Structure 1
């Protein structure tokens, strides 16, 4: 880990400490922050995957209103992502260790009503990721690969939580265990890991899509996670700054 990334993680931890001092947050403040993050996480994660709903349209759909001229699939993707975030929050509150069952249940919520046959099920055929430099493992190896992922996670306790979250996301992306919905599921796993460690979620923006894919690809090829960790850390620092600004504790 280079010195600049180490310094960024130090800044993040200092900001998290300021946030921890302010806890428990005022209910109205907590509610407004949660609603804003729910919207941003849902909009950006879906937009990265090609969903054409705008930020405003996503907000409207979350409020239960249909948007004319948009696909039903795009509407469902919005409400599914919200439900998946709520499930992630439940996991955080239960203080459970990471499991394959959790990952399958997150994915099941992502694809519910879109592809119920595949929701929560590992792919049953081989896959190629467009634009990627690596090929996902043979589908027959997925149970062993996912078991190894859980084993790695259980052993990575000495890794900085932000670096561990970025690496978990990358390792999951490289396995590509599902036929669809891997990106959204992977970003939810990323934030599950951050939130379990007491950090707020990191919003990877759709404007960062190219840099994000390039960072993921590089990490999958080389096994070196500094670039993807930096991207995640910068996204997390934006969230922390928004929290501290609202609380008047940025200085």
Structure 2
């Protein structure tokens, strides 16, 4: 957005009611293009040159920091709220950017301050523009001209808002014949009714919108935030494979073995302790992934596996393709036969080359989905005697790094969800796996960009 358009919107904001300002802003953003719904509100923020960050806010839905002294305006959004609420908050803070742009603002939960009420009305109109909202309403009204509450669930999905927002907007337009009281929302049971009606959520769409416009700042491998995440990642990634070892509990042992290798005073004592040996090896893997300037290929994949077991008694045998058949517990496909591994890895190399050549021009989520598929395919091939899961996830994180994205890890508590999603991917349904990793990608983005100091006042 150019400065003239923004200035024009700000000039008109002082004499507009909230819904009128939202209508003008909506038309300014879309121009002559026909809008699609749900509105990608995060792309809208990006268009308005607003940086948004997801933050663990306590008593506020969001916050707005103005663009003073040449700085970039920032919107903070409560990280632990439902996606529909986060979308509404994003539109709410956009209103502050257009109308209250000289003051840093916090948006307290449930505030009835006139400034906040105005911004709520703006958000409702921007996400559910009257002309398009009433077009959808006309499709679902009952013979009396009203919308039944059950129909409002699908209406909320069309516009990417909460059921409560849809009902309140219907009430505003006189399209329901009851008062939407707190007791109504409490007793309605929208989640159960949506499930009973077969109405799917839009989490995948919402996450794609959030991630693709997110202003993520990559962290150096020396960053304290990265060092902290590396420990968490290695703990959960190991635990997925049955290695239950808190790095902090053996920090001195792991650090001494990492630095001195076989010369460590602890090596003879712990060389047969798989938990410690593989934990140290995993540190080697992610130190390499974080520091290397190289791009991965099938030879680099061998090297990752070898690093994982570099202190194991059988280190010389690791990083080489297996010579015996094996299987993945619970999988619906057979792993590659030993005599075909070389060929399958050659084909995987081509997929990696395609990723590298295309990632610069693809969105964050597109790149993540490609990296997830490559990780899944490597796990299917299962080229090594052991460590295939950790090697495939390390490769995925290496690929994400090439796009400037943070590493991902599956929390050990989500192991069953991950295994079920991998099984679905065996049958070429990648959606559950993509959704799981989109959630993890956003989590990593937030965690690694968490140190933001913001001072605001409440309306």
Return the offset for 1:240.
Answer: 0.9
Q: Which aligned pairs between 1:102-113 and structure 2 lie closer than 5 A? A: 102-113=300-311
How many Å separate the matches in 1 of 2:236 and 2:288?
A: 19
- Is residue 2:119 matched to residue 1:119? no
Provide the residue aligned with 1:223 in structure 2.
428
- Is residue 2:203 matched to residue 1:11? no
How many Å separate the matches in 2 of 1:70 and 1:43?
A: 19
Return the offset for 1:3.
Answer: 5.5
> What TM-score, normalized to structure 1?
0.84
Return the offset for 1:38.
Answer: 1.3
Residues 173 and 12 (structure 1), Cα distance of their counterparts in 2 relative to 1, 3 Å cut: same
Q: Which aligned pairs between 1:1-251 and structure 2 lie closer than 5 A? A: 4-15=203-214, 17=215, 19-20=216-217, 31-54=223-246, 56-57=248-249, 59=251, 61-64=253-256, 72-91=273-292, 93-94=293-294, 96=295, 98-114=296-312, 115-156=314-355, 157=358, 160-220=366-426, 222-248=427-453
Residues 172 and 199 (structure 1), Cα distance of their counterparts in 2 relative to 1, 3 Å cut: same
How many Å separate the matches in 2 of 1:70 and 1:41?
A: 23
Gaps of 5+ in 2: 1-200, 258-265, 455-459
How many Å separate the matches in 2 of 1:84 and 1:30?
A: 15
Gaps of 5+ in 1: none
Contact 1:194/1:201 (<8 A) preserved: yes
* Count of residue correspondences: 237
How many Å separate the matches in 1 of 2:351 and 2:325?
A: 24
How many Å separate the matches in 1 of 2:276 and 2:270?
A: 11
Contact 1:39/1:58 (<8 A) preserved: no
* Structure having greater relative contact order (Cα 8 Å, sep ≥ 6): 1
Q: Once superposed, what is the RMSD of the aligned Cα atoms? A: 2.7
Contact 1:61/1:78 (<8 A) preserved: no
Residues 203 and 118 (structure 1), Cα distance of their counterparts in 2 relative to 1, 3 Å cut: same
How many Å separate the matches in 2 of 1:234 and 1:152?
A: 24
How many Å separate the matches in 2 of 1:49 and 1:186?
A: 12
Residues 70 and 148 (structure 1), Cα distance of their counterparts in 2 relative to 1, 3 Å cut: closer
Residues 243 and 34 (structure 1), Cα distance of their counterparts in 2 relative to 1, 3 Å cut: closer
Contact 1:111/1:118 (<8 A) preserved: no
Contact 1:45/1:206 (<8 A) preserved: yes
Deviation track 1:164-214 (CA, whole Å, cap 9, x = no partner) reads: 111111111111111100011011011111111101111211111111111
**Structure richer in strand, relative to its length:** 2
**Structure richer in helix, relative to its length:** 1
Provide the residue aligned with 2:50 in structure 1.
none
Contact 2:322/2:385 (<8 A) preserved: yes
Contact 2:322/2:383 (<8 A) preserved: yes
Matched residue SS, 2:321:
coil
Matched residue SS, 1:246:
coil
Return the offset for 1:58.
Answer: 5.4
